[in-house]
Amino acid sequence: MNTSDDYISVSLETIRVGTTVGCDLYLQNCVDGGTKYILYCSGTNAIKPDKIEELLRNRIKILFIRKKDEKAYLKYVELRLKHIINDDKIHINEKVQVVYGVAKNIMLDIFEDPRSGEQVERSEGWVSNAVEFILSNKASLPNMMSMISYDYYTYTHSVNVSVLGLLFSKYLGFKYEEMHAIGTGLLLHDIGKTQIESAIINKKERLNEKEFAAIKMHVEFGVNILMQTRGIDSTSIIPVMQHHEKQNGKGYPKGLKGNDIHKYGKIASIIDVYDALTTRRSYADARSPFSALQIMQDEMKGSFDDNFFRDFILFLGSQGEKEP
């Protein structure tokens, strides 16, 4: 999806004949040095086969939607995500954009209504499709990393951490079930922040002792939300529960140490910190991957499992594929 003024381009291949998209579709017309957008199909009308055939005859593979309708479009492609990732006619970059865009849309909805079972169910559906996409070897580390947001918002951070975690778990040799469990937990690892005052979450200055104590409660809040959500596997709650635990026992909420921390928790703590460091904040520029890893190795020494941290460094330098 490419942005042009108030319109966003979408691939014709993501739209299925006989369905209603839920938002108006436009054709782009460039004349006399200007650009006009002409209504092609109303969002309430089903796409007819002859309309698609007409576009293909004219070698038109891109349609446009209004930027304000992006959420409706992403909800539409979410329902077709499995088909899109398995469609060989759709370019890999378009697939990656759709996968990432759908995840951001889901997380926005979850952070608005965290206790909605429907939203959490959507997140599990997304993880299922993302795991299939990654295991199919169609989604490489460079492809997926190109879409990661470097502006920090809680919802984009959640998507970044889940995408990185899924790619890393594939690198480690995890099978589908484990990838699904950790991917779901990573996507929802900060859901408890919905219960923290936004003034604390968005504060630009250093948190005082009272504020830090409040924000640490997001772990317990998140665990409680998911424990009360039907259908969430208990192993998916582990990354939520342990992503702030440290190998040296100086983390929270339980101060777990070494092997008392589950491997999902160890992986979550590494990726959570790495994404936070490599993402631009209102009060700090994004660090480069090298700089972030240097900080984690030197200034946070003892915080991370040595073996997983070493593997994570190798993973980032390997294009996501392990040497045979």
* Range list for CATH 1.10.3210.10 in the chain: 80-316
Please give the CATH topology (third level) of the domain spanning 80-316.
Hypothetical protein af1432 (1.10.3210)
Cα gap 167→312, rounded to integer Å: 10
Nearest to 271 by CA among 305, 301, 299: 305
Instruction: Of 33-37, 222-226, 262-266, give the lowest mean pLDDT range.
Output: 33-37
pLDDT digits (tens, 9 = 90+) for 66-105: 999 999 999 999 999 999 999 988 888 889 999 999 999 9
User: What value does the mean pLDDT take over residues 156-175?
Assistant: 95
132 versus 323: the higher-pLDDT residue is 132
- At 202-225, the pLDDT tens digits run 888 889 999 999 999 999 999 999
Average pLDDT of the chain, as a whole number = 91
Looking at residue 150, its pLDDT comes to 63
Is residue 226's pLDDT more than 90? yes
Going by pLDDT thresholds of 50, 70 and 90, the confidence category of residue 119 is confident
Q: β-pairing, 34-41 with 25-31?
A: antiparallel
What average pLDDT does the segment 137-145 reach?
74
pLDDT value for 139: 67
Using left for φ > 0, alpha for ψ between -120 and 50, and beta otherwise, residue 33 falls in left
Would you say residue 137 has pLDDT above 80?
A: no
CA distances from 197 to 144, 161, 186, 217 (A): 32, 23, 22, 11
| pLDDT reported for residue 144 | 81
Alpha helical stretches, state H, the chain: 49-57, 70-79, 81-86, 92-112, 117-135, 141-145, 154-171, 176-187, 198-201, 209-216, 218-227, 238-242, 263-277, 289-298, 306-316
